[in-house]
């Protein structure tokens, strides 16, 4: 009898955890606000984009440094950069709040915020 109550308790906790996760995901996807992509150069936000809207933005400066940032299918990635190591391109896409792409030579950060 005691084992049956323990089993019911454990199953109830698991169902509650799954339900909480489901509600969290549903609220996030149904939110009207959406995530914002910030483009930061040398510590200053120079451009913002919506993750829900496809867009391309080129960051360039007077010294010839440039990065092309693309938002497509709710993912952000750098499609072109003229930095020597191209680590920012190799990072691939980001799509979740808190993720970022960094280009150290150009002092560039592309991050997703709420």
For residue 85, give both structure tokens: 């190591």
The pLDDT assigned to 2 comes to 77
CB 82 within 8 A of CB 104: no
Angle (nearest 5°) at CA 79 between 31 and 82: 135
| DSSP-assigned letter for residue 94 | B
The domain that holds 61 is classified in CATH as 2.60.320.10
As a whole number of angstroms, the distance between CA 91 and CA 114 comes to: 21
As a whole number of angstroms, the distance between CA 77 and CA 70 comes to: 5
For 14-25, write each residue's pLDDT tens digit: 888 898 888 877
- Boundaries of domain holding 68: 36-113
Q: How confident is the model at residue 54 (pLDDT cuts 50, 70, 90)?
A: very high
- Residues 59 and 101 placed together within one structural domain of the fold: yes
Global pTM value:
0.70
Number of domains composing the chain: 2
């Amino acid at each position: 009898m005691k084992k049956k109550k323990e089993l019911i308790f454990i199953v109830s906790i698991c169902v509650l955890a799954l339900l909480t996760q489901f509600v969290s995901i549903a609220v996030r996807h149904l939110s009207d606000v959406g995530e914002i992509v910030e483009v930061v150069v040398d510590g200053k936000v120079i451009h913002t984009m919506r993750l829900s809207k496809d867009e391309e933005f080129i960051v360039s400066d007077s010294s010839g440094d440039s990065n092309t940032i693309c938002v497509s299918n709710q993912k952000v990635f750098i499609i072109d950069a003229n930095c020597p190591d191209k680590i920012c391109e190799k990072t691939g896409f980001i799509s979740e709040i808190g993720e970022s792409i960094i280009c150290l030579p150009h002092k560039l950060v592309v991050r997703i915020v709420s």
